Chain A
Amino acid sequence: MSRLYGVVAEFDSPEALVEAVRKVRAQGFTRLEACTPFPVHGLDEALGLRRSPLGWFALAAAGVGVAAALLLQWWTGAVDYPLVVGGKPYFALWPSVPITFELAVLLASFATVFGMLALNGLPRLYHPLFEDEEFRRASDDRFVLAVEATDPVFHATETPALLERLGALAVRPVEEKA
């Protein structure tokens, strides 16, 4: 069994894709996916995507890093096993700065990378778009717009016709393996 996932339309330049996305959105389509070989600026706005919240993830993780590092250095040095070394205080802020900084950066980087993957739903081994043999060119030199069949305004014959009118080089239906 397979069912229709949607239609894909190929464009040959980022500008053509952005233009097509604008027009398709103006028609009321919402379930769109635009795939490009490199980040195309203006596409986020055309699709109406929200700003990525990753910055907050990183900030929170950096806060955890600072707290954890200070706690670690204070507790091990001044509480659990106080040891006089070179007559220095058991715990002081200045000598704690390097490790605190490094741990904040480390945790913020983990949050950034794993947060990015989580928000993108990656790793993901299968996606219906990979069923389309020509879709592989979306990582090479094609700019692909996919309109999902679950879109309320989707029509099996009119939607492909609309995409062709918008200047797509090719428009194909994509079947999803059930």
Chain B
Amino acid sequence: MADLAIRQPLPLETPLIEGQPTYGDISRDVARVVESRPPRFWYIALAVSGTLTLVLLGVLTHLVRTGIGIWGNNQPVGWAWDITNFVFWIGIGHAGTLISAILFLFRQRWRTSINRAAEAMTIFAVMCAGIFPLMHTGRPWRAYWLFPIPNQDLVLWQNFRSPLMWDVFAVSTYFTVSLLFWYVGMIPDLATLRDRATTRIRQLVYGLLSLGWRGSARHWSHYEKAYLLLAGLSTPLVLSVHSIVSFDFAVSILPGWHATIFPPYFVAGAIFSGFAMVITLMIIARRVYRLEHLITMTHMENMCKILLATGTIVGYSYAVEFFTAFFSGNPYERYVFINRVTGPYAWAIWTMFACNVFAPQLFWFRMFRRSIPVMFAVSIIVNVGMWFERFNIIVTSLHRDFLPSSWGHFTPTIYDVLTFAGSVGLFLTLFLLFLRFLPVIAISEVKGVIPSPGGKGGH
């Protein structure tokens, strides 16, 4: 009964869900998104994103047939847009699990309206991320060499002392666990869709996907335990994944990469960019599908606060990097940072500062936190800035290292641009298909945070 008391909102608290909907209203409002014909916006968006996905397929086909020389990377900049894009997408993929797991453990009940879509976003972002290292290997058909599978053509084992192998394990574990978490969370809602289904095909598909769920108290008891455990497992997992991604850089000895602040700095940046993407997508989805009473201004405002907090941590990390370079007394380390702000790529770092450090500071003001146009603009700006952050870390560190005789300059080719644009297309296509066919809001969880009709306080 103590738990029941916790779930009832305090009388003074602003309701999380607006308009005092009943349980039936919530099922209907969320199911409506998949049960009715999609709005015209959906078709237009799918046409655009689908075209970009085809571009991606075309570019990757060309890349596999020709070789990664079609991209602009070359010595000394062996990692360029491809790894920038990888880290960019992996970072975006961090908000979903953060919302699902960490906010769940902290009992932040406002997460219930946005966690499903954020988890979906995570999975699609990690899929986009996976493309880049896979293609960067140059021979993607040998990708199984990355896993310790005994085989005839590779007589030695993987080097488990290398951070790149840690990364393989971290990213594949993260993808698998996020997928499980997302699917488990969706089972009760798929059952709701099954029970509402009017056509045979829907009954069959949602029936199979919901695995025969009937919402029995025994089911819920094991289910809630499983959810809690997955949240507990995902919390250190999500922190470990971007820490390990940062080890790809930090464990090397290259000036500009070899820094102890990298793991927390990368994790904060990942959450920052992920929340920015959630804000972008949610602003569109709640408007197009008229879900403003379920994904309310309070939800949006809370996300803006997280953007402000993580953006400030990111700004602090930039400052620490510069200070460490100065304080280390190491001429190579110092040069990298002087080169970043004054060298050939200086425009990129100033873009990064403006987008990541200054733009989110608007959210100190309530007026801006509750303005949809402002938060939409800032969320896009932040993602542009976070892309540039990775570009700066990778390209400006690589292009001028210890020996001036081996310095170089990187310029992207049209294929770099098209691969990135194509991955954006794939991401949006998957997200649009998710909106069309799966419950976009966690129906059963939202029902748990609205007042019960039989509750003592009533509505």
Set of chain B residues within 8 Å of A160, measured between Cβ atoms? none
Contact with A along B169-205 (1 / 0, CB 8 A): 1100100110011001000100110111000000000
Any A CB within 8 A of the CB of B240: yes
Does A162 make an interface contact (CB < 8 A)? no
Within the complex, the shortest CB–CB distance from A44 to chain B, in Å, comes to 5
Q: How far is the CB of B253 from chain A (nearest CB, A)?
A: 10
Counting CB contacts under 8 A, is A88 at the interface? yes
* Residues A41-80 near B (CB distance < 8 A): 41-45, 47, 49, 51-52, 54-55, 58, 72-73, 76-77, 80
Residues of A within 8 A of B217 (CB): 33-36, 40, 43-44, 47, 49
Residue-wise, chain B 332-366 has the 8 Å CB interface mask toward A (1 for contact) of 00000000000000000000000000000000000
Chain B nearest Cβ from A84, distance in angstroms: 10
Give, as a whole number of angstroms, the nearest-CB distance from B27 to chain A: 5
Give the distance in Å from the alpha carbon of A55 to the alpha carbon of B244 in the complex.
27
CB-CB under 8 A from B320, the residues of chain A are none
Contact with A along B21-37 (1 / 0, CB 8 A): 01110010000000000
B1 near A98 (CB under 8 angstroms)? no
- B265-283 with Cβ < 8 A to chain A: none
- The interface size bin for chain B is 35 or more
When distances are taken between beta carbons in the complex, the residues of chain B under 8 Å from A96 are: 160
Instruction: Given A15-B452, A112-B233, A122-B212, verify A39-B223 contact (CB < 8 Å).
Output: yes
Contact status B216-A112, CB under 8 Å: no
| Least Cβ–Cβ distance between A56 and chain B, in angstroms | 11
Q: How far is the CB of A19 from chain B (nearest CB, A)?
A: 9
Is the CB of A103 closer than 8 A to any CB of chain B? Answer: yes
Q: Contact check, B236 vs A105: say whether CB atoms are below 8 A apart.
A: yes
Which residue in chain B gives the minimum CB-CB distance to A69?
B169
A49 touches B221 (CB 8 A): yes
Are A98 and B225 in contact, CB atoms less than 8 angstroms apart? no
| Interface membership of B403, Cβ < 8 A | no
Q: With the chains together, A9 CA to B444 CA distance in Å?
A: 21
- Besides the contacts A109-B233, A117-B211, what 9 more A-B pairs have beta carbons closer than 8 Å? A36-B215, A37-B215, A81-B156, A81-B157, A85-B161, A98-B170, A109-B181, A113-B230, A116-B226
In the assembled complex, 9 residue pairs joining A and B whose CB atoms fall closer than 8 Å, in A order, are: A33-B218, A39-B224, A49-B218, A77-B160, A85-B162, A92-B161, A113-B226, A127-B212, A140-B23
